[in-house]
Chains A and B, each alone.
Chain A
Amino acid sequence: MSMSLDSAMTGTQNHDDLTRSFAFTTQLDAVMTWGQRNSLWPLAYGTACCGIELMSVMGPKYDLARFGAEVVRFSPRQSDLLLVAGTITEKMAPVLVRIYRQMLEPKYVLSMGVCASSGGFYRAYHVLQGIDKVIPVDVFIPGCPPTPEAVLDGIMLLQKMIKDQNPRPWKQNWKAPEL
């Protein structure tokens, strides 16, 4: 039925021509990564100063929504991007690992700021010296705290990684720490 309507509109009877005009072929992977990278749902694991700056990233001026990542979920079951913003202490580490393990695949980790990435200038008795000691990290963003522009850059980098389907050996080889 629709066929004949369309034919009437375009004034042609050729079935093949019609298909070509509104459909395109692609690979399933490409569609999937397109969807994944443009609808990252972050779990904002904001613990310290970076968490405050992350509010600016989400807020009106910088607006993470432009990159399709505005749906902040605080449930690990509903999110696919773990955005660790702030210092992770030894006391917090088991909680972080548990949250990471509760997330469903595919999942990505973004470490915002030097505290999360390496302990920063807290070379101290109660601070975890980088979250990569306990969970696999895809993108590190330097800064103390990073500017919102840097966070957006980090997210775009992650989107590119998803698009290119880069291999992620740090994730494949990750073993859960014995907690």
Chain B
Amino acid sequence: MVNGSKTWNTYGQYADWIFCLVRTDNSVKKQEGISFLLIDMKSPGITLKPIVLLDGHAEVNEVFFDDVRVPVNNLIGEENKGWTYAKVLLTHERTNISGVPRGKRRLAALKKTAGETADGFGSNMMENAMFRHKLAEIEIELQALEYSELRTLAALSVGKAPGPESSILKIVGTELAQKMDELFVELAGYNCLPFVPEQFEDGFQGEPIGPGNSAAAALTYFNNRKLSIFGGSNEIQRNIISKAVLGL
């Protein structure tokens, strides 16, 4: 029988099943009394409340569990070992969040967009020295991140789990993605000011405002502030590095 609520649940409105950390023992240390459960989202007693974010999109939810019956068979692994499993999953999540290939694609898109964006003085933004400088800095950072990720993956390939170093990937990857969001906003200029979230939903029939995807730039910038908050905030990642790596 599960009771309680979860929040910031991404796309729970589309899910058939939900993995859940639930408290199964109150008598032990906080981290030790947690179990990992798989719950059918159609179970009676589950309700969802969507949370609309700054980009106008209901991406996350609050999920409420009111006397939800879950078969004992749905327990993943051993009882009260949930936190151990979750930590392993989270290190993988962190490694994944760094998003080097996505970063490379976005960098290429930035260069292409810059070449297509008029600077107002008869040239384009790819010819703008300040902007090129910023693009170069991003590209260099991305190279450093890529090789940090490759070193982490090399350790994985010989059977080691990603260690606390995966926090580096999470911090740098997310902050780099956010820097790129800023540059997309910069390029879009006035074109990213219209707040028309519906033009980015599936099935939008109208005439979009602004050229290309420019009106999405601000929405993405707003939405991606989540990157340094979720998956263990970047502050938590820095705590992990100072404690687990530096021994402070």
Question: Do A and B actually bind?
Answer: no
- Listed in ascending order, the chain B residues whose CB lies under 8 Å from chain A are none
- Listed in ascending order, the chain A residues whose CB lies under 8 Å from chain B are none
